[in-house]
Amino acid sequence: MRTIQSAFNQWDDGGNLDKKLEQAKSELLKDPIVQKALIKKPELTEETLEQGLIKLFEYQKERHHCEQCPGLEKCPNMMQGYQPELVISRGHLDLTYHACSLKAHEVERRKRNDLIKSLYIPREIFEADFQTIDFDGERADAIAEAIEFAGNVNPGEDPMGLYLYGRFGVGKTYIVGAIANQLMKRGVETFTVYTPDFFTEMKNSIGNGTFQEKLNSVKKAKVLILDDIGAETMSPWVRDEVLGSILQHRMFEKLPTVFTSNYNYEGLEKHLMYSDKSGTEELKALRIMERIRHYTKLITIEGKNRRQT
């Protein structure tokens, strides 16, 4: 096994180590990338430079990788997607790192995607786009209203939402998917839930201690989309403790809510009145509907059942 000293002697090549180091240092300091960085550090002393050569070599290597960038996934830098910057810290030459343009773009892309949160909604719904949506005559007015809402909604300032009413299969969920996609482009957080499954999940979450956390995440979304409200099995607890709590908070905070339903306002009111255990409770249903009617615009969507074509 070779000793460290023998390896060192071989690299020294007859006592020329100092010459090799000086040559490497000279080439390093002549590098345009290094020179450009050093010009920005007029306070750098010769002593600090000598002590920080290792950092300077690291800077040169990483920056040359960036000059010949192979793409974010193949980035050879020590911190993938990050570029070094020379700094003087406590009298020593050091490096800090910041995201390159590709990394920053990727972070921003993920951030935009995270703006659309969903529960029980197929992800492909959020590929819906107003540019490609079927703008037929029967749905033209409804789509125009949806486009206007997505372009102008102002959470925290204006609580007005939409109530999309129509028969099965007319494209209500697809339209709200396009709304969510447009809001993502604007940087507006959107939370979309399939209401029947969400209410079931809220019941189950009482047992595992996550009820309040889940309720708060929906209550506080900048724009909330409740898809297919009225399709759930209604109970006083769902109506008053879940739906009522959500709408109460959103009303006070001026946060818009978008609903889709197979019921119009009157039909949903009747649905909210009745439960298997409590019979008919008109006053409590009216209280919920007051918040829905007052803070949404009713949009009726006509047309054929697209699920059958």
Which CATH number fits the domain that encloses residue 167?
A: 3.40.50.300
Whether 60 and 193 map to the same domain: the answer is no
Whether 80 and 121 map to the same domain: the answer is no
pLDDT recorded at residue 97: 92
Cα diameter, the chain: 100
Whether 19 and 126 map to the same domain: the answer is no
Structure tokens at 205: 């979450």
pLDDT recorded at residue 113: 55
pLDDT digits (tens, 9 = 90+) for 89-144: 888 888 999 999 888 878 866 765 565 566 777 777 877 888 888 777 778 899 99
Instruction: Please tell me the least confidently modeled range out of 37-46, 112-121, 177-186.
Output: 112-121
- Beta-bridged to residue 96, according to DSSP, are 85
Long-range contacts of 93-102 (CB under 8 A, 24+ apart): 93/44, 93/48, 93/49, 93/51, 93/52, 93/55, 93/56, 94/52, 94/55, 95/55, 95/58, 95/59, 100/66, 100/69, 100/72, 100/75, 102/69, 102/71, 102/72, 102/75
147 occurs within a structural domain = yes
Q: Is the CB of residue 17 less than 8 Å from the CB of residue 57?
A: no
Domain end position, chosen among 103, 130, 162:
103
Tally the domains of the chain.
Answer: 2
Whether 264 and 216 map to the same domain: the answer is yes
110 occurs within a structural domain = no
Specify the length of the chain in residues. Answer: 309
Between 191 and 112, name the one with better pLDDT.
Answer: 191
CB atoms within 10 A of CB 244: 18
233 occurs within a structural domain = yes
Domain end position, chosen among 71, 103, 135:
103
Angle subtended at Cα 120 by Cα 247 and Cα 298, rounded to the nearest 5 degrees = 45
Question: Is the per-residue pLDDT at 279 higher than 60?
Answer: yes
CA-to-CA dists, residue 252 to 159, 162, 295, angstroms: 9, 17, 11
Whether 172 and 199 map to the same domain: the answer is yes
As a whole number, mean pLDDT of residues 24-33 equals 87
Contacts of 15 (CB under 8 A, 6+ apart): none
Whether 133 and 27 map to the same domain: the answer is no
pLDDT band at 240 (very low <50, low <70, confident <90, very high): very high
pLDDT recorded at residue 1: 42
Model pTM? 0.66
Tell me the C-alpha distance between 197 and 244, whole Å: 17
Question: Is the per-residue pLDDT at 226 higher than 70?
Answer: yes
Q: Give the pairing of strands 223-227 and 161-166.
A: unpaired
Tell me the C-alpha distance between 71 and 102, whole Å: 8
Q: Is the CB of residue 178 less than 8 Å from the CB of residue 105?
A: no
Tell me the C-alpha distance between 270 and 50, whole Å: 82
108 occurs within a structural domain = no
Domain around 56:
4-103
32 occurs within a structural domain = yes
Question: Is the per-residue pLDDT at 260 higher than 70?
Answer: yes
Domain end position, chosen among 103, 123, 150:
103
Structure tokens at 71: 């793409």
Whether 120 and 268 map to the same domain: the answer is yes
Whether 10 and 71 map to the same domain: the answer is yes
**Which one of 23-32, 43-52, 185-194, 290-299 scores highest in mean pLDDT?**
290-299
Whether 144 and 89 map to the same domain: the answer is no
Whether 285 and 177 map to the same domain: the answer is yes
Instruction: Please tell me the least confidently modeled range out of 44-58, 242-256, 270-284, 285-299.
Output: 270-284
Instruction: Please tell me the least confidently modeled range out of 119-123, 167-171, 289-293.
Output: 119-123
Whether 139 and 183 map to the same domain: the answer is yes
Whether 121 and 90 map to the same domain: the answer is no
222 occurs within a structural domain = yes
Question: Is the per-residue pLDDT at 296 higher than 70?
Answer: yes
Between 163 and 17, name the one with better pLDDT.
Answer: 163
109 occurs within a structural domain = no
pLDDT digits (tens, 9 = 90+) for 4-14: 455 445 555 55
**Residue 279: which of 247, 239, 235 has the closest Cα?**
235
